[in-house]
Amino acid sequence: MSIKLKTPAEIEKMRIAGKLAAEVLEMIEPYVKPGISTGELDKICYEHIVNVQKAIPANIGYHGFKHTSCISINDVVCHGIPSFDKKLKDGDILNIDVTVIKDGYHGDTSKMYIAGKPTVAGEKLCQVTQESLYEAIKIIKPGLRLREIGKTIQKYVDKFGFSSVREYCGHGIGEVYHDEPQVLHYDADDGGVILKPGMTFTIEPMVNTGDWRTRTMKDGWTVKTKDHGLSAQYEHTILVTDNGVEVLTLRSNENFPRVIEH
């Protein structure tokens, strides 16, 4: 497995791309309300990335995908296809996942939103999923085994009776959208990968209220929970630093440190 370590110049480009991706998720938040379509939300994201940020939406054309964002509602785990026919309802939970390319480098991030008044179950799932991501980021430093990330997420999620999806994972990122290593969100063999300064990758736990198993719809993209339970996901692109971690896609309204030193 060849894992590319980023140079200081590449890291600076990653910071810029990450900041732009985070900005898209901040920008779209006021629009997430009952009655708006996921197609409209996607269009707003596209126009912001292209016209305001002068950047490239990485998802358009990726393996034939036609949209700027993946928008996954309720029991959709990931890769939900935006549609002007799909309107949000009160209490819906949804993940908006965007990747921005700027100067050849990718910034990849996602977060959960709740349309209107949240349900108790939906709000709790979103909270635990975000916390599981934070718990994993907190431990990152050079010398750590990669599998400790998944182990930390699984242990945290299990405490609440939820489950961590196993069929999808985080990934290395930089000039290449999906690169080595694969970052699993449960405790499993990592091929002996040890974290080193200059590694950049995503951590993106997908957490279900019920069973972790999923099913893919006939469109070839949309992934749903097998048992029809709710699913949530949060994602950040991170950099392993000389003595800890930097969150490259941190949003300005997050109560979490951008840099953690050990």
Task: Note the pLDDT tens digit of each residue in 9-63.
Answer: 999 999 999 999 999 999 999 999 999 999 999 999 999 999 999 999 999 999 9
Using DSSP's 3-state secondary structure scheme, residue 102 falls into: strand
The answer as to whether 1 is a domain residue is no
26 is in an annotated binding site: no
Is residue 204 annotated as involved in ligand binding? yes
- The pLDDT score that the predictor gives to residue 137 is 98
174 within domain boundaries: yes
Is residue 78 a part of any domain in this protein? Answer: yes
Helix 120-138 with 147-158: angle, nearest 10 deg: 150
Burial of 117 (0-12, 13-18, 19+ CB in 10 A): exposed
CATH number at residue 92: 3.90.230.10
48 among the known binding-site residues? no
pLDDT the model gives residue 30: 98
Q: Is there a domain that residue 3 lies in?
A: no
pLDDT at 192: 94
> Is residue 178 a known part of a binding site?
yes
171 labelled binding-site residue: yes
**Which parts of the chain sit beneath pLDDT 50?**
none
Q: Left (φ > 0), alpha (ψ -120 to 50) or beta: where does 218 sit?
A: alpha
168 belongs to a structural domain: yes
Name every residue whose Cβ is closer than 8 Å to that of residue 259 and which is 6 or more positions away in sequence: 241, 244, 245, 246, 247
Question: Can you tell me the distance from the alpha carbon of 64 to that of 52, in angstroms, rounded to the nearest whole number?
Answer: 25
Range of the domain at 12: 8-261
Residue 22 lies in a domain: yes
In this prediction, residue 76 carries a pLDDT of: 98
**Does the predicted model carry a pTM greater than 0.95?**
yes
Q: Does some domain include residue 257?
A: yes
Residue 252 pLDDT:
96
Residue 166 lies in a domain: yes
Give me the number of domains the chain comprises.
Answer: 1
